[in-house]
Structure 1
């Protein structure tokens, strides 16, 4: 069975969705509510899949006084999952100085040290992540050594491995290329699943906002928590500017 490692940022106001806050008119409170909603939707999606879940939480070092990322993430998980499913979820602190090190350390430990069949790093900021995508990616890891989920600008939202590679700085610049290059150099087979948008920049938000609005109008499933926050906080795109009711 595949273990999916959810690599979380601190759900702390002013830090959550930081780039989006810097480049839009959204407030720190908007960013926090959006991120908590994204985490909740992602956790619920993972809970519906037949995988092992590991929540990789950041430590409180360097965060504002009183911040407790582990407690916050456990609270979000408890709301998103049944008690039985939550009981099987592992919560472990992140080890590493950047995303590459954190994801690489977790995957390598699970596959090499614990003997897991495969392990994958997942970014939580994927509003339209569906169970079918997770199931497809983890199922394909039985056939291919590496499965990648492409995102915009050469990024990835999912990176699964049946065999570890050299992860040093592998996620820092166009990871879809770099991870594939390192895997093939190690004689590993690489496969891909469908592209999804990682919510990072204003352009990402505009893309996601429009598509989810279209899904809603068409009566299709939408990420419930994320969509509710957008509605409740009045987050809109006006003349290309992302703003909320607090800043409009």
Structure 2
């Protein structure tokens, strides 16, 4: 069984996905809500997969004072997970775990989580995701678990050389492991550790307006074709009325 650690921040306005606010037609509050819906789809995919969902949350003392909320980070994310999984029936011995993140950087937090799970808890395999790739479904997570039976490292490539999924059955050196381009850096760390490295299909991780411009037509096309979509993300983007248009030879997000 793979433990799927979702490194999650409380979806607070201005705190999450600042690049998306700057590079898209969405306001800071809309970006925060989109992030919340993508997290819900990630929680749902992990809970429905053959793995174990671990929500690894940013502690309140690691969040800048200007982004302090009325509820704690843990309380916000517990409520989000409860809403996402309201219609999911878990096995009697299956629960959603919540644990605090440890580390000053994303690489540090990811490395501490993966290393703790593999070395201290002795899990068969551990995966780290950040909840911004809503097309990561149960199917891909179960496929990753199968690949991890043959390879010690499985990576999910995203646009611009990023990685939306890092799966491991043994540790790697996470020091600066997310240095650009993350996919190459993580691959080299796996190879340097003597591990086999495999890959999942490429999919969009939404961090910028360009990423969102790639995701919106895909979701709209899948809806039109009657195919499965991440329901929370797709519903919210539909409510926003986002579409892609060509203006003066450039493709732009429009509302």
The TM tier, using the shorter chain, reads over 0.9
Q: How does 1:236-247 map to 2 (within 5 A)?
A: 236-238=243-245, 239=247, 240-242=251-253, 244=255
- Quick check: 1:189 aligned with 2:200? no
TM-score, normalising length from structure 2? 0.90
Contact 2:9 2:57 (8 Å CA) reproduced? yes
Q: How does 1:134-173 map to 2 (within 5 A)?
A: 134-173=141-180
CA distance in structure 2 between the aligned counterparts of 1:227 and 1:36, rounded to whole angstroms: 12
Instruction: State the match for 1:131 in structure 2.
Output: 138
Q: How does 1:57-206 map to 2 (within 5 A)?
A: 57-61=57-61, 62=64, 63-81=67-85, 82=88, 84=90, 88-206=95-213
CA distance in structure 2 between the aligned counterparts of 1:217 and 1:84, rounded to whole angstroms: 31
Q: Which deviates more from structure 2 when the two are superposed, residues 98-107 or residues 62-71?
A: 62-71
Contact 1:55 1:89 (8 Å CA) reproduced? yes
Q: CA deviation at 1:46?
A: 1.0
Q: CA deviation at 1:123?
A: 2.0
Matched residue count: 244
Deviations 1:137-169 (A, max 9, x none): 011111111111111111111101111011011
Q: CA deviation at 1:243?
A: 5.3
CA distance in structure 2 between the aligned counterparts of 1:50 and 1:73, rounded to whole angstroms: 22
Q: CA deviation at 1:201?
A: 1.1
Q: CA deviation at 1:236?
A: 3.7
CA distance in structure 1 between the aligned counterparts of 2:156 and 2:188, rounded to whole angstroms: 15
Q: CA deviation at 1:208?
A: 0.3
Instruction: State the match for 1:47 in structure 2.
Output: 47
Q: CA deviation at 1:67?
A: 4.6
Alpha-carbon RMSD across the aligned residues, in angstroms, is 1.7
Equivalent in 224, 233, 236 of residue 226 of structure 1: 233
CA distance in structure 2 between the aligned counterparts of 1:125 and 1:182, rounded to whole angstroms: 23
Q: Which runs of 5+ in 2 are unaligned?
A: none
CA distance in structure 2 between the aligned counterparts of 1:140 and 1:166, rounded to whole angstroms: 21
Q: Which runs of 5+ in 1 are unaligned?
A: none
Secondary structure of 1:229's aligned partner: helix
Distance change >3 Å, CA 129–CA 136, structure 1 → 2? same
TM-score, normalising length from structure 1? 0.92
Contact 1:149 1:159 (8 Å CA) reproduced? yes
